[in-house]
Homo-oligomer: A and B are copies of this chain.
């Protein structure tokens, strides 16, 4: 028999059995004291607890999960953690999760549907209790199908059929941005969109259009396709700023592209904001460190991630699938890249 004596210093981890043996009780009693379930005599409890510390016992969550079907872990499916916005979401989600004793499994999909599907399958196999999906650009039906019966909450995108998403009204945020430009006296507005299938990009585009149409004065407008990256903003900015009708106000679909636009302007010898105002979207950390400091619409990634987990957690507790969507307000962050038309400096 290969029984290790309980006081032997063995390299293998102590199990509930070892504790039981050492304490001279049954495994169920040990189980009771760890879970504080059922009645246990004070003296036995003490004996067991001593045995636990003596053996440096820590329960095997895997075995526990097998029985209870609870793993105290969730999946976080995002396009890319090295994108600051998603990194913030990740941090918010993880903070909220650990506060409830949950762990989060990180999955980077790079916006690819097949990777999302793959991760979802893996997560299911690991019996995560739910999943936070952020920034997906996949068609809703396909995505929902891949999620299957996993409890989930969606971030940065509104799920049409569900009451479980955390989002911002990107359209309204875009309107705020556009109106800001208009209020500054800009009359020739341009917008640089996100990549083609980005829901948030589309919403922002729609907001730009809506704000422009709502405005009384006739405006000239241009729209250019971007990609949410500095380079795309730079290229679009170059084209816009060299065109026949140079815009006096540019709303870039996100901060990265706004930074690209500013570079383009500087390359062309144009001054921001004197010659052209530029506003971004997201309010990434970098926005306050570039020159000129970027005016933008704030998108609170950390809070959104936090809210997402909390929403998921509520779902898990109550067994009811739908709760109320959480909506964040887009707020204008005024900095140096926009200024009143004609204002000197």
Mark A residues whose CB is within 8 Å of B.
Answer: 11, 58-63, 65-66, 71, 73, 76, 80-82, 84, 87-88, 90-91, 94-95, 98, 103-108, 119, 121-127, 149, 230, 259, 263, 266, 285-286, 289-291, 302
Q: How far is the CA of A108 from the CA of B90 in the complex (A)?
A: 10
Contact of A87 with B76 in the complex, beta carbons under 8 Å: no
Q: How far is the CA of A88 from the CA of B76 in the complex (A)?
A: 17
What chain B residues lie within 8 Å of A127 (beta carbons)?
Answer: 60-62
What chain B residues lie within 8 Å of A82 (beta carbons)?
Answer: 84, 87-88, 90-91, 302
Q: Can you name the residue of chain B whose Cβ is closest to the Cβ of A93?
A: B106
Task: Report which of B62, B88, B121 forms a contact with A62, defined as CB distance below 8 A.
Answer: B62
Q: Can you name the residue of chain B whose Cβ is closest to the Cβ of A289?
A: B259
Task: Report which of B11, B81, B121, B286 forms a contact with A81, defined as CB distance below 8 A.
Answer: B81
Q: Can you name the residue of chain B whose Cβ is closest to the Cβ of A88?
A: B82
Measured between C-beta atoms, what is the minimum distance from A190 to chain B in Å? 21
Measured between C-beta atoms, what is the minimum distance from A117 to chain B in Å? 12
Per DSSP, chain A at the interface is helix
Contact of B95 with A108 in the complex, beta carbons under 8 Å: yes
List 5 A–B pairs whose Cβ atoms lie within 8 Å, in order of A's numbering. Answer: A59-B125, A80-B91, A106-B106, A289-B290, A290-B290
- Select the residue from A66, A121, A289 with max chain B CB neighbours within 10 A: A289
Given A81-B91, A82-B84, A105 and B108 contact (CB-CB distance below 8 Å): no
Q: How far is the CA of A259 from the CA of B104 in the complex (A)?
A: 33
Contact of B95 with A87 in the complex, beta carbons under 8 Å: no
Q: Can you name the residue of chain B whose Cβ is closest to the Cβ of A108?
A: B94
- Select the residue from A60, A62, A121, A230 with max chain B CB neighbours within 10 A: A62
Measured between C-beta atoms, what is the minimum distance from A51 to chain B in Å? 18
Q: Can you name the residue of chain B whose Cβ is closest to the Cβ of A115?
A: B98
What chain B residues lie within 8 Å of A60 (beta carbons)?
Answer: 66, 125, 127
Given A63-B66, A290-B289, A94 and B73 contact (CB-CB distance below 8 Å): no
Q: How far is the CA of A62 from the CA of B91 in the complex (A)?
A: 26
What chain B residues lie within 8 Å of A290 (beta carbons)?
Answer: 289-291
What chain B residues lie within 8 Å of A291 (beta carbons)?
Answer: 266, 290-291
Measured between C-beta atoms, what is the minimum distance from A104 to chain B in Å? 5
Measured between C-beta atoms, what is the minimum distance from A156 to chain B in Å? 16
Contact of B125 with A61 in the complex, beta carbons under 8 Å: yes
Measured between C-beta atoms, what is the minimum distance from A135 to chain B in Å? 14
Q: Can you name the residue of chain B whose Cβ is closest to the Cβ of A69?
A: B62
Q: How far is the CA of A127 from the CA of B65 in the complex (A)?
A: 12
Measured between C-beta atoms, what is the minimum distance from A331 to chain B in Å? 20
